[in-house]
Amino acid sequence: MTLGSAIDRCRAAGLRRTKALEELLATLLDAARPMTLAELAASPRLVTQCDKATIYRLLHRLTDKGLVRRLGLHERAAYFALVVPGQHRDYLICTECGSIAPVDAPCPVHDLEDEIRAKSGFQNLYHELEFFGTCPDCS
């Protein structure tokens, strides 16, 4: 996904194009993994562009519109990842330290999703899968 297409998706969802939104999207696009609010606020693109409260409000709007996915344990820091049409990621989340990593294996429920779509008639069906456990560093 390009920054331009991400901005187009935001505008189609009714969000106003701002410099802060552009920089947040660019940061999420370049990220190798989901990021916390603190990581985003400290990122080079955003640290001089806007404050943490602005980033939080933008993330909340993007999540409400289905453009960003919120991950993680509710009592720990949340992680945020840009939703990219046609791309799917499942994640491992440590219940001790809250760290997050993508699952490096084929998704086990794609066939089930296809079967549910065929039997139910649902359109635009998708799933989000998170596995919880203790990471090697915390074990």
Confidence at residue 110, expressed as pLDDT on a 0 to 100 scale: 84
Q: In CATH, what is the architecture of 1-85? A: Orthogonal Bundle (1.10)
Whole-model pTM? 0.81
Q: Do domains 1-85 and 88-139 have the same CATH topology?
A: no
pLDDT above 70: residue 102: yes
| Reported confidence tier of residue 109, pLDDT bands at 50, 70, 90 | confident
pLDDT above 80: residue 3: yes
Superfamily of domain 88-139: Ferric-uptake regulator, C-terminal dimerisarion domain (3.30.1490.190)
Query: Hey, which residues does 70 pair with through a beta bridge?
Result: 80
Confidence at residue 76, expressed as pLDDT on a 0 to 100 scale: 64
The secondary structure element, H or E, covering residue 71 is strand 68-71
pLDDT above 70: residue 75: no
Domain boundary assignment for the chain: 1-85, 88-139
Alpha-carbon distances of 105 from 29, 61, 71, 102, 108, rounded to whole Å: 22, 31, 19, 9, 8
DSSP readout, 84-123?
A: -TT----EEEETTT--EEE--S--TTHHHHHHHHHHH--S
